[in-house]
Structure 1
Amino acid sequence: MHIIFYTKEVCSLCDDAEGLLSALESEYPHTIEKRDIYTKDEWLEEYQLLIPVVEVNGEQLNCEQINYDSLKALLHKHQKRD
């Protein structure tokens, strides 16, 4: 599964969210595409007060929504089923 992770340098909340994603990787294998919001004006405008933002298949969780349970539920929902 592919995760888009909106972040910035020196962001403790981002570090925490990335740690949670790492903890869930064995159960929900994924790749992370990090997007620094300061590299694109559109991202900065949209996500400045919301980072970190985790996006999977267009569904997003922002800084106020991210915790272990919400990330696990998001990954579970979008996990490919055989």
Structure 2
Amino acid sequence: MKQTVLTFYTRRRCPLCEKAKSELMELQNEHPFLFEEIDIEESDELTEQYGLMIPVFVLDGEEVGFGHVNKFDISKRLQEKTLSL
């Protein structure tokens, strides 16, 4: 059974990222998913791509949000992924 993967693009010393991560962890209690955290500062390409947008949330390869977490929207998308498995 394929598990849903939520990729979280972040960087160190980012208060908005820390808050977003906390909220995503709360969602993990409702909808099981693999959580992958990537520091964009470890790649020039990722820094260029996401530098002004972080945190960025990617669900199974599809960008589903950035900046502030929209918990309702991400929860809905996680639920849809779970139902389609």
- Please list every run of 5 or more consecutive structure 2 residues that lacks an aligned counterpart in the other structure: none
- Which runs of 5 or more structure 1 residues have no equivalent in the other structure? none
Which has more helix, going by share of residues? 2
Q: Could you say which residue in structure 2 is the equivalent of 1:62?
A: 66
TM-score normalised according to structure 2 size: 0.83
Matched length: 81
Deviation, structure 1 residue 73: 1.9
Within a 5 Å distance, the mapping from 1:2-81 to structure 2 comes to 2-60=5-63, 61-64=65-68, 66-81=69-84
In angstroms, what is the RMSD of aligned CA positions? 1.6
TM-score of the aligned structures, taking structure 1 as reference length: 0.86
Between the aligned residues of both structures, percent identity stands at 32
- State the 4+ residue runs in structure 1 displaced beyond 4 angstroms: none
